[in-house]
Each structure stands twice: as C-alpha cells, then as structure tokens.
Chains A and B, each alone.
Chain A
Amino acid sequence: SQQGEEDPQALSIQEGENATMNCSYKTSINNLQWYRQNSGRGLVHLILIRSNEREKHSGRLRVTLDTSKKSSSLLITASRAADTASYFCATEAGAQKLVFGQGTRLTINP
C-alpha cells in the first residue's frame, strides 16, 4: 500500500536555485524520512523528522512537516550539479515497516 507520494514527479532547475519537493501521506505517522538515490541504485538517508517537529535543517537541506495537512517538504538551497538525483520520502505503514513514494527526479542544469 502506498503511504507517501512525492510531488512533483520531475523538477528541473538552474544551478544555484532552490529546489522544493513535497510529500503527502495518508495515515498518522511518528516520523518521516527523506532519501536520495543516484543512478537508480542504493538510496542514501538524508534526514528524519519526528511528528512533534515542524522543521529540521541539515546543511543545505531544510525539511518541514505539517501533520495537520499530512505533508512534508524538502528544500535544497543553492543547488549544485551533484544534487541531481531522485528524492524519496519514507513513512510508516504498520508498526515497523517503511514504505517509499514514487520519488521526485531532480535535475540541476549548469
């Protein structure tokens, strides 16, 4: 069952611009995670935000969580070519299972 859905499906911006992608989910969560995937292989964890947190920062990443709207956003500031990747949110589906959305494909143009 699909819990999180990312939006947009694809995003193309110029290097240096900010990139924002969103994740919506259906049922209540304890936390939400964001991952990055390069070249269609293994995912790398970026950040985890708990349900009692509204915003979290890690370097050029800013994640927000709005539990009333069941949505989260990932902002990448001052984008670089190396940020080109797919980004996924992961949420709980049941007690211990993490499920992923379809992802946002981000392209940073030089």
Chain B
Amino acid sequence: GAGVSQSPSNKVTEKGKDVELRCDPISGHTALYWYRQSLGQGLEFLIYFQGNSAPDKSGLPSDRFSAERTGGSVSTLTIQRTQQEDSAVYLCASSKGGSTNEKLFFGSGTQLSVL
C-alpha cells in the first residue's frame, strides 16, 4: 500500500485478555517503530526493528508486551493479560533506512480500550 497500515483501528477488550495489533509498513522500508500514546500525552517509545538486526526492546513496559516482525515486513505487537492501564493509542511508524536523519511515516494507530 501507499502508506503505513494498522489494524484494527479500534479494539475493545476485557481485562485479562490477550490482544494482537498489526502494522504493515511501507514496502521497502527497513525500519519499523512502535509507540504508545495515552490520552493527551506524548509518544512513548516501545520497540524498534531495523532490518535483520536484533530489535531494540528497551521501551517495552513489561514482559506482557512483545513484538515480532516477520520477513522484515509486517509487525505484530502482542499484549498478554491486558490491564486497564494498557488503554492507549498504539502507533506504528516506518522509515526507509532506519537512520535518525530519515523521516518517519506513521499509521493511523490502533485505539485500544481495556474494560
């Protein structure tokens, strides 16, 4: 596709359930980021993938969070045993080469609501 695609747009789940969020980056982009944004707040870095390198997982808030990127393309962010504080917009972004002098292209995000 022409842009970064995220699905679902909205997800409502019950506390304790697992959720999977999907990100389809721009074709050919080697770098992929996940961020989390709580209501009215800034972006919180979660994880970064660059090519075949080991991902930078330093932003994952707990071991309930994990992410993978298959074939250097699509990424899935998984949250196990969701908690109410996990409610936020989860944003995915990609860039062509992964250098910090390249701009990020963002998806529209997944609004996660944990009841």
Contacts and interface: CB of A to CB of B under 8 A. Distances in A.
Interface of A: 30-31, 33, 35, 40-45, 48, 50, 88, 90, 92-103
Contacts, number: 66
A55 to B, nearest CB: 17
Given A41-B108, A45-B103, A101 B98 contact: no
Interface of B: 4, 31, 33, 35, 37, 39, 41-43, 45, 48, 50, 56, 58, 89, 91, 93, 98-101, 103-109
Nearest to B45: A99
Closest 8 pairs (CB-CB, A-B): A102-B42, A42-B106, A45-B103, A100-B43, A92-B100, A43-B106, A42-B108, A41-B108
Contacts of B42: 88, 100-103
A45 B105 CA distance: 7
A85 to B, nearest CB: 13
A98 B56 contact: no
Contacts of B4: 42
